Amino acid sequence: MATRGETSAHLRFVLGFSSLVSFGIWFATAFHALPTLSWEPVRGTVLAAVMEVKTLARSKGPDIHTVVAHVTIRYAFQGREWTSDLRIPLSRAWKEGDARSEDYVPEYPPGKVVDAFADPESPFNVEARRGPHPATWLALLAGLGCGVGWWRARRRASPAAA
C-alpha cells in the first residue's frame, strides 16, 4: 500500500502532467486562431460547397460522424475580388451504420451570402470564425484547474507547510 507521501507525489505528477497537456492543447489550437481576432469581416458569395463526412466507428453504440463543409467563396476586399476556400465544421451526428455526404443537407448552396473574416495582410486567407473556438477555452480552464491542484498538493507536501 502506498504511503501518504507516495500518493501525494503521484497526485502531483498526474496534476502537473495534466496541466501541461491541457495548456499544450489550448496553445496549439489557439495559436492559429488568435491572429484572426484582428481580421476584417467580409461578405462572400458561395460558388461551390462539398460536404465531407468523417466516421469514427465504435464497437459499442452508434458511430460518430463529423460533418465538414469545404466552401469556395468569392468576396470583395481592399478594392479587389478574391476567391478562397473555407473549411467549416458543421456538426457531429450519431447514427447507426454508414453515412454518406449525400445524407446531409448542404447548408451552403451556390449563391448564398456568408460572413467570413479576411486577413488584411494576405486577403486570400479567410476564416469562417474569428478567434478560437469557444470549446478551446475549456482546455485552458482544465489546465488552470490542474495547475491549481498541483500547486496545492505540492504546498501540502512541503515540510515548511507543516
Residues 71 and 136 in one domain: no
Q: Are residues 29 and 108 in the same domain?
A: no
Tell me: do 62 and 136 sit in the same domain. Answer: no
Q: What ranges make up the beta strands (E) of 78-154?
A: 80-95, 113-118, 126-127
Assess whether 112 and 84 both reside in one domain: yes
The reply to whether 121 falls in a domain is: yes
Q: Which residue has the higher pLDDT, 26 or 127?
A: 127
Kindly state whether residues 63 and 93 are assigned to the same domain.
yes
Instruction: Please indicate, yes or no, whether residues 85 and 120 belong to a single structural domain of this protein.
Output: yes
Distance CA 73, CA 112 (A): 9
| The 3-state secondary structure of 8-39, one letter per residue | HHHHHHHHHHHHHHHHHHHHHHHHHHHHHHHC
Nearest 5°: CA angle at 103, between 100 and 70?
A: 70
Q: What is the pLDDT of residues 36-89, one digit of tens each?
A: 888 999 999 999 888 887 777 777 777 777 778 888 999 999 999 999 988 887
Which contiguous run of DSSP H or E holds residue 151? helix 136-157
121 in the same domain as 97: yes
